[in-house]
Amino acid sequence: MTLYSLRTLRGQPFRLMFTIGGIALCILLMLFLASIYHGVREGSIEYIRANATDLWVLQGSQTNILRGSSILLTAHGQVLNQVEGVSAATPVVFLLSTIKKSGRTSTVYLTGYDILAGTGGPPVISEGRSVLMEGEIVLDRSFAAKFGINIGDSVMIRDCDLLVTGLSEGTNMFVIQYAFVTLSQAQALIGYPGLVSCYLVKVSRGFGVEKVSMEIKSELPGVEVYQHEEFVGNNVREMESGFLPLLYAIAVIGAIVLTSILSLILSMNVLERRKDFAVLKALGSPQRILRRIIFTQSLTLGWSGCLAAFALAGPLMGVVEFLAPEVSTRIGIGTLAAAFAAAGAMSFLSSCIAVRRLRSVYPLEVFQ
């Protein structure tokens, strides 16, 4: 019956083409959302992951750096450096800042870090160099592309002119991008030189991370101390809590549309081939064979649409990233495999809906 299933689909080439196209668009939408999710996820935590410190020390009650306002003092750093087992405690400042360039303004997640310690800076410099002194800034590559900023250009934050010395990658959080200056520059921009956002703590060899963490909490009761992986997890959850529900909602709508399109097309096929199904029933076809016809058609359409979506995904992502550089998209094999499986599941569901049409086909119809 596979031949029958495929030939009846091929018998309506335009419908076949439009159906596969519609399915491809639905899957493309889902792939696009998944790729944005992965892009944002990576962009949001790449900075944290790249700074593979042992402990993150933040103000009490703060769990992450994406949507939190941790405020600590340089005095905390002095205490941290006194704690037994702490090899180094490097301060980092985070603040939302407005960048001006040629009359245009935009907000960046400005990060001030200790250039001598080398910790807390950009994960990857893709072009140019890192900051070496005050008056310099490294921008996220997609941010720079969006605003047409090149290395050697000047941008303004508050009343301070900063020279763009490099472009970074892994620093695009979709809604906002990181920018990097020296620690003292960031503190000067805040206006309070004694403020920092958090400390990145390295534990001395031979000391247990857990033990040092407990020691810090004991010395500084008003701070939160997180081990690295825990802190990464905190930030992922924070990013997902604001972003995933929206993606899920759109993905579910896409899945419903796909399932509806497919079940309607399959139901239409059953009704148009009503005579064939009545004949097959009259000749003694078991229900499973009739169901298999619809299931084969459904999977053929679903997976053809899926493959078409895979073929279109690469070029589409390229166009999107060209038109909107801040939109970071990533598609991995896992995402493609999940899309393929989802297409199969939706095809199965659609065929279950369409199979119900068979109940209204009676073998007696062949005698009319």
Partner 1 sequence: MNPAKSREVVLAMHDVSKNFSTGGQSTFAVRNVSLEAKRGELVMLLGPSGSGKTTILTLMAGFLRPTSGEVRLLGNDVGTCRPDDLQRFRARSMGFVFQNFLLIDALTVTENVMIVQEFCGTARKAARGKAGLLLQQLDISHLGSRFPPTLSQGEKQRVAIARALANNPEVILADEPTASLESSQAVEIIGILRRLAAEENRCVVAASHDGRLRDQADTIVSLRDGKIGNISPKA
* Tokens linked to 63: 């769990």
What is the CB neighbour count within 10 angstroms for residue 71?
A: 15
Stretch that binds partner 1, among 156-164, 301-309, 345-353, 356-364 (CB under 8 A): 356-364
Residues 362 and 73: their CA atoms lie apart, in Å, by: 81
- Cβ nearer to partner 1, comparing 116 with 283: 283
The answer to whether residue 356 forms part of the interface with partner 1 (CB under 8 A) is no
Which range of residues in 43-51, 94-102, 283-291, 336-344 is near partner 1 by CB under 8 A? 283-291
Q: Is 366 in the site for partner 1 (CB under 8 A)?
A: yes
Give least dist CB 360 to partner 1, A. 15
Structure tokens at 299: 């999977």
Among 250, 282, 349, 352, which residue interacts with partner 1 (rule: CB under 8 A)? Answer: 282
3 binds partner 1 (CB under 8 A): yes
Q: Is residue 363 within the footprint of partner 1 (CB under 8 A)?
A: yes
Cβ contact 27:258 at 8 Å: yes
- The DSSP annotation for 45-76 comes to HHHHHHS--SEEEEETT---SSS----EEHHH
Interacting residue with partner 1 among 280, 331, 354, 358 (CB under 8 A): 280
Neighbours of 76 (CB within 10 A): 22
CB of 284 to partner 1, least distance (A): 3
Which of 116, 152, 283, 323 forms a contact with partner 1 (CB under 8 A)?
A: 283
Which one-letter DSSP state was computed for residue 113? E
CA–CA gap between residue 355 and residue 293 (Å, rounded): 10
Angstrom CA distances, 312 to 24, 27, 315, stand at: 9, 10, 6
- Measured from the CB of residue 280, what is the shortest distance to partner 1 in angstroms? 8
Contact 179, 110 (CB under 8 A): yes
The residues near 331 (Cβ < 8 Å, ≥ 6 apart) are: 31, 34, 35, 38, 313, 314, 317
Cβ proximity to partner 1: between 283 and 333 the closer is: 283
When binding is defined by CB under 8 A, the residue of 52, 289, 319, 345 that contacts partner 1 is: 289
* Residue nearer to partner 1 on the CB measure, 4 or 348: 4
Q: Which is nearer to partner 1, 14 or 159 (CB)?
A: 14
Radius of gyration of the chain (CA): 29
- Alpha carbon distance 111, 152 (integer Å): 20
Given the complex with partner 1, which of 345 and 366 has the nearer CB atom?
366
CA 267/CA 254 separation, integer angstroms: 20
- Contact between 11 and partner 1 by CB under 8 A: the answer reads yes
Spatial contact of 156 and 27, defined as CB atoms under 8 Å apart: no
Q: Does 4 bind partner 1 (CB under 8 A)?
A: yes
Comparing CB distances to partner 1, the nearer of 32 and 295 is: 295
> Shortest Cβ distance from residue 272 to partner 1 (Å)?
12
Task: Note whether 106 and 143 are within 8 A (CB).
Answer: yes
Nearest-approach distance from CB 12 to partner 1, in angstroms: 11
Could you say which DSSP state residue 365 is in?
A: G
Number of residues that bind partner 1 (CB under 8 A): 23
**Dist CA 313 CA 320 (whole Å):** 10
Pick 109 or 295: Cβ nearer partner 1: 295
Q: Contact between 286 and partner 1 (CB under 8 A)?
A: yes
- Considering only residues 260 to 279 of the shown chain, the ones binding partner 1 according to CB under 8 A are 275-276, 279
Asked if 367 touches partner 1 (CB under 8 A), the answer is: yes
Which of 221, 284, 315, 323 is close enough to bind partner 1 by CB under 8 A? 284
- Residue 204 is given by DSSP the state P
Interacting residues with partner 1 (CB under 8 A):
1, 3-4, 7-8, 11, 275-276, 279-287, 289, 362-364, 366-367
